[in-house]
Structure 1
Amino acid sequence: MILFHNSILKLDYSPATDILDVGYPDLHDYMLSEIKHSIDILIDTVKNYDVKKVILDSSRTVSSVSSEESREIAVYLASGLMKTRVQKVARVQSPSSDIEERAQGNIRHINESIQLPFQLQNFTSKEVAIEWLKA
């Protein structure tokens, strides 16, 4: 069931599997404040529904922001998820090598600077990511 949908973010929740499917937003510098606001809505939704498993689908994400701005959004999202009871986050990779290289750098930065209380793994396919979340 769709819990929230705007031009930036779509939150599709499956109560049977307790998986929240999130289409990772396109990143454009003129939208950064709206993206952060949408992440706040995502975090509130995770808290309100006590979601334990999240899939972040980056397979269609477009990015035109700097590395620093991309990292800022990734850290903002990870910090927000730390304040919830999420146990597993599966990230579906982007087919764009540029976006994926930046995302991997962001993940390394987060793992080095923040002790994440949840498991985080990358996947090339959504089906495999969902199987990992269900396990």
Structure 2
Amino acid sequence: MILFQNQLIVLDYDPSSDILSVVWPNVNPYDMLEIERSLQLLVEYIRDYDVKKLLIDSSKTEMHPEVDPEKYISMVTEFAKKLQKTRLQRSARIIHQDQVRETESNQVSEKVTQNVGLQIESRSFINREEAREWLCL
């Protein structure tokens, strides 16, 4: 069931498995404010629906080279801090097929985890089926 949709994200919730799925948006300098607002909405839906499992598909997410990495890390850190205040228990991420992009994503994740002390159990997967299977354990 689609809970929310805009030009950047679609929040798709499956009540039977309690999994909220989102395709991580492409990151462009001119979209940063809208991405930040979309991530805030994601947190609000997690809180409002008391979601315990999040599936993030970043397999096709692109990062524009002009994006300020510090601003992006700051935005994702704030997102993670807000997630900590929900009852979310598990987060699965579908990795990017481009190894360079995936390495960059892992570096951001490590910095954010260190900054926030993220307590949500997280794992990365190469496809949606494996991610959903782990979330449903």
Scaled by the length of structure 1, what TM-score is found?
0.94
Alignment of 1:71-110 (within 5 A): 71-110=73-112
| 2:124 aligned residue (115, 119, 122) | 122
Q: Deviations over 1:73-111 (max 9, x none)?
A: 321221221111100000111112232111100111122
Structure 1, gaps ≥5 residues long: none
Instruction: Point out the more displaced range, 106-115 or 49-58.
Output: 106-115
Structure 2, gaps ≥5 residues long: none
Question: What percent of counterpart residues are identical?
Answer: 34
Tell me the distance in 2 between the aligned counterparts of 1:11 and 1:63: 21
Instruction: Point out the more displaced range, 30-39 or 95-104.
Output: 95-104
Tell me the distance in 2 between the aligned counterparts of 1:73 and 1:122: 21
Whether the 8 Å CA contact 2:60–2:96 is kept in 1: the answer is: yes
Structure 1 residue ranges, 4+ long, deviating more than 4 angstroms after superposition? none
Instruction: Point out the more displaced range, 36-45 or 98-107.
Output: 98-107
Instruction: Point out the more displaced range, 64-73 or 77-86.
Output: 64-73
Counterpart in the other structure of 1:57: 57
- Give the C-alpha shift of residue 127 in structure 1: 0.8
Which letter maps to 1:127? E
Counterpart in the other structure of 1:43: 43
Q: Please state if 1:113 is matched with 2:115.
A: yes
Q: Secondary structure at the match of 1:20?
A: strand
The CA RMSD measured in Å over matched residues stands at: 1.2
Tell me the distance in 1 between the aligned counterparts of 2:114 and 2:59: 25
